[in-house]
Amino acid sequence: MLNLIFFGPPGVGKGTQASKAAKHYNLIHVSTGDILREEIRLETELGIKVKDVIASGELVPDKYLIELLENTCEKHKGAQGFVFDGFPRTLRQAEALEEMMERTNCKVAKVISLEVPAEELVRRLVNRAIEQGRTDDTADVIKNRLVVYQKHTEPLIDFYKKRDVFVVIPGEGTIDDIFAAICNVIDNRY
């Protein structure tokens, strides 16, 4: 099994690269943001509960994410592996993922952290909001999402560095060049 985490702040290009990696390595792409947006669109019980939280740029409570993760992995039991995109975002989520992996004798092979300068992030998020009509990406919400990232998600860097799986890839350049750098890390992981 090959399990990968695509890590980094909102706007860094995780989704694009995670989706390419899932196709290339035949893995299941798990974007918690996409799953939650679909729940909102379908007006499910969960969707209704999380709508306002997502619109504000805050994080959805861990218990919903952990349940969602367990259901998703259960649904794809025979998969060759997973590409997690936007998950985990808190220490509690990272611990839950680790426990789940241990239960099935698996582990996270690499945490691929994409990095770009802060001004570039804001520029990308503003453009994406316009292009995709993402109502969670207004200027104030964008700022809040970045603050929330620093506060809750950045501590995961140490968590994964300790496990010796954390790799930084510069997130600027063409999509294909960045992807080539990512493949290089994944292919030479042993």
The catalytic site residues sit at: 14, 89, 128, 134, 145
Cβ distance to ligand AMP smaller for residue 159 or 187: 159
- Give the up-direction half-sphere exposure of residue 41: CA atoms within 13 A in the CB hemisphere: 8
Site for ligand AMP in 129-168 (CB under 6 A): 136, 145
Angle of the 62-75 helix axis to the 91-103 helix axis, nearest 10: 30
CB 126, min distance to ligand AMP, A? 14
Helices then strands, each counted (H, E), the chain: 9, 5
Site for ligand AMP in 23-42 (CB under 6 A): 32-33, 36
Neighbours of 128 (CB within 10 A): 16
Query: In this structure, are residues 18 and 114 in contact, taking their beta carbons and an 8 Å threshold?
Result: no
Which of 9, 13, 86, 171 touches ligand AMP by CB under 6 A?
Answer: 86
CB 5, min distance to ligand AMP, A? 11
Helices (H), 57-173: 62-75, 91-103, 118-132, 139-148, 156-162
8 binds ligand AMP (CB under 6 A): no
Query: In this structure, are residues 88 and 100 in contact, taking their beta carbons and an 8 Å threshold?
Result: no
Stretch touching ligand AMP by CB under 6 A, among 70-78, 84-92, 112-120, 178-186:
84-92
Which tokens hold the place of 20?
């390419």
93 binds ligand AMP (CB under 6 A): yes
57 binds ligand AMP (CB under 6 A): yes
In the complex, which residue's CB is closest to ligand AMP?
33
Site string for ligand AMP, 107-136 (x = CB under 6 A): -----------------------------x
Dihedral sign, Cα of residue 39, residue 112, residue 128, residue 175: negative
Task: Point out which residues bind ligand AMP (CB under 6 A).
Answer: 10, 32-33, 36, 53-54, 57-60, 65, 86-89, 93, 136, 145
